[in-house]
Amino acid sequence: MHPFRWVPADGGRHATADIRLAGAYAVGESITALCRRSVTVARGTELAWLWPTCAECNREAHVLVEAGVSQ
């Protein structure tokens, strides 16, 4: 399991290492994404998951996964 999760926030899919209990984020909660932006969690509707992936989060997530694989 990787130490981050994808969350729909601010019109995009961001990844965050700001892991909460049971991995649940409250709608409207502020979290820090891997792109270092402070974003507001949106409702995880089907449409929200179709939002564009944040390029910076995606890059950071790749770094984390590759680091995990090489361990």
Identify which of residues 17 and 70 has a Cβ nearer to Zn ion in the complex: 17
Identify which of residues 18 and 70 has a Cβ nearer to Zn ion in the complex: 18
Identify which of residues 43 and 71 has a Cβ nearer to Zn ion in the complex: 43
Burial (CB count within 10 angstroms: exposed 0-12, middle 13-18, buried 19+), residue 8 = buried
| Footprint of Zn ion (CB under 5 A) | 14, 33, 35, 54, 57
Residues 6+ away with beta carbon under 8 Å from 29: 40, 41
Give the nearest distance from C-beta 58 to Zn ion in angstroms: 8
